Structure 1
């Protein structure tokens, strides 16, 4: 078992006016447990409060963005993700199961997606304003296959980004979406801007180039136009309903059975090695 440093679950780096927030659990494909969720939330609180920071990039260490919530942490009270229906109106907002998913920031956040951005990972990506992919990116609602609900904005934000029809396809099937398709359905883009051809440059490098452009814009105008877009699509009530339905799923026998099957399958695979 890998020993984790609780102070390095999330790494924060400043490059000029850009803040890079990196989920640092590569041995878990950057799955988010409770401590990681809280560290992510704090990182974005700090970014919001930093007057020298104009743009943030959310990414993952070791070749993956984030493979969702850490299912192994669910039964461990010390590591379980934060779960609460409390949602005060004050900005930037409360902590969500994956960390910053209920926050409304005044500044833009770019998701730099290499590798897996699935389940709760795609919810984190959808929380970001722009999603940048490279050829290694794999997106999808993989939690569908385990009986794990989308509980951090996925059912609300995905239809806003790709339209209800495509969102239903992805949410109900749980299928794989590779980088090329992510561009085609406008779930993600590349930089320089493209919805046609995947840029072979690593996603983080693309995101840094885009962040530099955004930081050069007149900031009050850009931020207010961005906030207007967010408030034109109020999601608080919809996400509270999503949470209510998600809790119903989590307390069902179906959920426990799905998780047990997942871990039993992993044990069987390891025993054959």
Structure 2
């Protein structure tokens, strides 16, 4: 069966058999040897709250246990992959110090590693924790209009889900620091050049193309494929991957909880939307501006 035929069959089966196995926020579907896992909060740009994070973690664990499923494809519905953690959850916490300090892993509660090959179908925004999720996957199929970035930089939300470890190994120290320190956006072409994206595809085709790529992996002897996969990861991280992730999470806890909550509230107020890195603080108005403010009921006096 050629690639086009596989792609068409995948889409037909996906639409016909789409169902939710563990709640509407996460959609899980089996396509032969492939498991698709979809974040389904389109009205929130697929941001992840605590409930959704738990459902996503459960879906990944079920895929790992399923001996009949060889490859997973993670995607987002409604035009975006994932915009990170839902800041509403942080801003509305009754006891943020206790809630955030009790987290064993990062805000998104991702596993350190997925035991079998996983592909991210990246469309729209894959930012903040959404980029962490894409980096958790082995391969990234990215639409030509998609955007990557560590947008939480703008609001003082520390990286807790692996990006400081994985980016450095993937694209080198200099480029990793460029993304981490500036919070800049990365388009698909740059992401491919830098080594984050593995494929660039047309807008609207990331999921189908990712399923197609997953199909190509299922035909190989799986025992050998997974042994070589683990050897490659061990080579990249020198067998200290878990220790490095623990160090990232330990460092992130040095950021005060009050600062994190205030950052979440700033975002919810409208500052920094769509990846903007300017006008992130309230502007100081000088005395002369106040005097000449046309909204002031007292008309400014001429200085001439």
- Shared topology, TM-score over 0.5? yes
Q: Does 1:162 align with 2:171?
A: yes
Match of 1:45?
61
Match of 1:260?
265
Question: Normalising by structure 2, what TM-score?
Answer: 0.75
| 2:108–2:161 contact (8 Å) kept in structure 1 | yes
- Which segments of 5 or more consecutive residues in structure 1 lack a partner in the other structure? 1-5, 87-94, 191-197, 267-273
Which whole-Å CA distance do the structure 2 matches of 1:109 and 1:152 have between them? 17
Match of 1:138?
147
Match of 1:270?
none
Which whole-Å CA distance do the structure 1 matches of 2:115 and 2:178 have between them? 32
Which whole-Å CA distance do the structure 2 matches of 1:99 and 1:257 have between them? 21
3-state SS, counterpart of residue 161 of structure 2 = coil
**Residues 225 and 159 from structure 1, CA distance in 2 versus in 1: closer, same or farther, beyond 3 angstroms?**
same
3-state SS, counterpart of residue 249 of structure 1 = coil
User: Which of 82, 91, 98 is 2:108 aligned to?
Assistant: 98
3-state SS, counterpart of residue 141 of structure 2 = strand
Most deviating of 199-208 and 123-132: 199-208
Match of 1:199?
201
Which whole-Å CA distance do the structure 2 matches of 1:82 and 1:14 have between them? 34
User: Which of 181, 192, 213 is 1:210 aligned to?
Assistant: 213
Q: Does 1:219 align with 2:219?
A: no
Q: Does 1:178 align with 2:187?
A: yes
Quick check: which has more Rg, 1 or 2? 2
3-state SS, counterpart of residue 7 of structure 1 = coil
What pairs with 1:3-18 in structure 2 (closer than 5 Å)? Answer: 7-18=23-34
**Residues 126 and 246 from structure 1, CA distance in 2 versus in 1: closer, same or farther, beyond 3 angstroms?**
same
Match of 2:72?
56
| 1:85–1:240 contact (8 Å) kept in structure 2 | no
3-state SS, counterpart of residue 265 of structure 1 = coil
**Residues 203 and 83 from structure 1, CA distance in 2 versus in 1: closer, same or farther, beyond 3 angstroms?**
farther
User: Which of 133, 137, 140 is 1:124 aligned to?
Assistant: 133
**Residues 248 and 141 from structure 1, CA distance in 2 versus in 1: closer, same or farther, beyond 3 angstroms?**
same
Question: Normalising by structure 1, what TM-score?
Answer: 0.83
Which whole-Å CA distance do the structure 2 matches of 1:258 and 1:237 have between them? 28
Match of 1:247?
253
Which whole-Å CA distance do the structure 1 matches of 2:255 and 2:170 have between them? 25
User: Which of 8, 12, 37 is 1:21 aligned to?
Assistant: 37
User: Which of 244, 256, 263 is 1:238 aligned to?
Assistant: 244
- TM-aligned CA deviation for residue 248 of structure 1: 1.6
| 1:67–1:117 contact (8 Å) kept in structure 2 | yes
Indicate the RMSD between aligned Cα atoms, in angstroms: 2.2
3-state SS, counterpart of residue 48 of structure 1 = helix
Residue correspondences, number: 244
